[in-house]
Amino acid sequence: MARSINLAVIPGDGIGPEVVAQGLKVLEAVLPADVKVESTSYDLGAKRWHETGETLTDAELERLRGHDAILLGAVGDPTVPSGVLERGLLLKLRFAFEHYVNLRPSRLFPNTASPLAGDPEIDFVVVREGTEGPYVGNGGTMRIGTPAEVATEVSLNTAYGVERVVRDAFERASARPARKLTLVHKNNVLVHAGHLWTRTVERVGREYPDVATDYLHVDAATIFLVTDPGRFDVIVTDNLFGDIITDLAAAITGGIGLAASGNINPTGEFPSMFEPVHGSAPDIAGTGKADPTATVLSVALLLRHLGLEAEAARIEEAVTADLAERDATARSTDAIGDALAARVAG
């Protein structure tokens, strides 16, 4: 049946536009003739902020709400005070559209180099809470700039917010062959939030007797991600711990240029948003060195979310094949995009 995807595209800053162009190229190439994509590009990010002082207006948020999904490159620029775009654009979207499942799969593709010794089997998914925790902006500064300055950044954890993401993680774990869920937190120190998370996992877990659960403090989790990554299947964790461990997860599975993510609103009330895990990489912007694979894999997550499973799988197969043939010869952003587009089309 013919259908069309009403896609919002936010290329953003730095390497964002470079990698998004490749993601769109592969998207166009993979779709069958009866599925059309109608893209609307939103010119948001550093340039816009310099010109107007705006990051994301309420009117734009309303327009974005009408799309089936959002593809985002990256935001953040050295000429803009740190946090302005990250909070005013990226987090505003995640919060407004209730992207409470920040889905970050980590797989070591065959023949892809990991800095870990041996040839570890790595195939886990991090379900990172996306709307609460220390990210909510619940803090402030007193006596700013003085020796007596005090700054707070209070983590917010609600029973409602924790339960909905924990339930999603259990659902994902029960659908995977290993059926294992690891809660990562720091409940030996952050006892208030940590115990809410622990009790919630225990309680919801009773409804999933076929899923084995365990618990790791986040510091110990960083050890095992390096020494024994094969022990992980589904990890559920709070917003900040999830941010940190998913950069580490990327590093052990071939690098940040391969790590994809989806900011999912599971109820479907709002559009979900797909983006590489990496940032705007100002150090390599404009050089053609950015690897667009993370964005292309994020397009696969987007297609799967929209029910186009066969097309999502074709992209992942193309990436697997491309990675298997990669050698030390560096290819440009564009060349990798062309190669992946050719594979999915052919």
Ligand X SMILES: CC(C)[C@H](C(=O)O)[C@@H](O)C(=O)O
| Residues that constitute the known binding site | 94, 104, 128, 219, 243, 247, 279-291
Among residues 25, 135, 168, 322, which one is catalytic? 135
Residue count (the chain):
346
Q: Which is nearer to Mg ion, 243 or 275 (CB)?
A: 243
CB of 142 to ligand NAD, least distance (A): 25
CB of 192 to ligand X, least distance (A): 22
CB of 279 to ligand X, least distance (A): 6
Among residues 186, 233, 238, 322, which one is catalytic? 186
Among residues 68, 123, 215, 247, which one is catalytic? 247
**Is 135 considered catalytic here?**
yes
Q: Which of residues 11-70 bind ligand NAD (CB under 6 A)?
A: 15, 19
For 142, which DSSP code? E
Pick the piece of the chain touching ligand X (CB under 6 A) from 85-93, 138-146, 265-273, 289-297: 85-93
Beta bridge partners of 183: 215, 236
Distance CA 255, CA 234 (A): 20
Contact map string, positions 272 to 291, toward ligand X, x by CB under 6 A: -----x-x------------
64, two tokens: 């974005």
Contacts (Cβ under 8 Å, ≥6 apart) of 46: 13, 75, 76, 77, 79, 80, 85
Residue 96: which of 236, 265, 237 has the closest Cα? 265
Q: Which amino acid is at 149?
A: E
In the sheet that 35-41 helps form, which strands lie side by side, from edge to edge?
35-41, 3-12, 69-74, 272-276, 260-264, 101-107, 123-129, 234-237, 180-185, 212-217
Distance CA 25, CA 72 (A): 14
**Contact call for residue 256 and ligand NAD (CB under 6 A):** yes
Q: Which does 127 bind (CB under 5 to 8 A by kind): ligand NAD, ligand X, Mg ion, none?
A: none
**Is 186 considered catalytic here?**
yes
Distance CA 253, CA 106 (A): 7
**Contact call for residue 284 and ligand NAD (CB under 6 A):** yes
**Contact call for residue 279 and ligand NAD (CB under 6 A):** yes
Question: Which one of 290, 301, 319, 344 is in contact with ligand NAD (CB under 6 A)?
Answer: 290
Residue 151 phi, psi dihedral angles, 5° rounding? -125, 135
- Buried b / exposed e over 146-175, threshold 16 CB at 10 Å, is eeeeeeeeebebeeebbbbbbbbbbebbee
CB of 51 to ligand NAD, least distance (A): 18
Distance CA 173, CA 265 (A): 18
**Contact call for residue 243 and Mg ion (CB under 5 A):** yes
Q: Which does 165 bind (CB under 5 to 8 A by kind): Mg ion, ligand NAD, ligand X, none?
A: none
**Contact call for residue 91 and ligand X (CB under 6 A):** yes
CB 332 within 8 A of CB 293: no
CB of 289 to ligand NAD, least distance (A): 6
Q: Which residues bind ligand NAD (CB under 6 A)?
A: 15, 19, 74-76, 86, 90, 256-257, 275, 278-284, 290-291, 294
Residues that bind ligand X in the complex, under the rule CB under 6 A: 76, 86, 90-91, 243, 277, 279
**Catalytic residue annotation:** 135, 186, 219, 243, 247
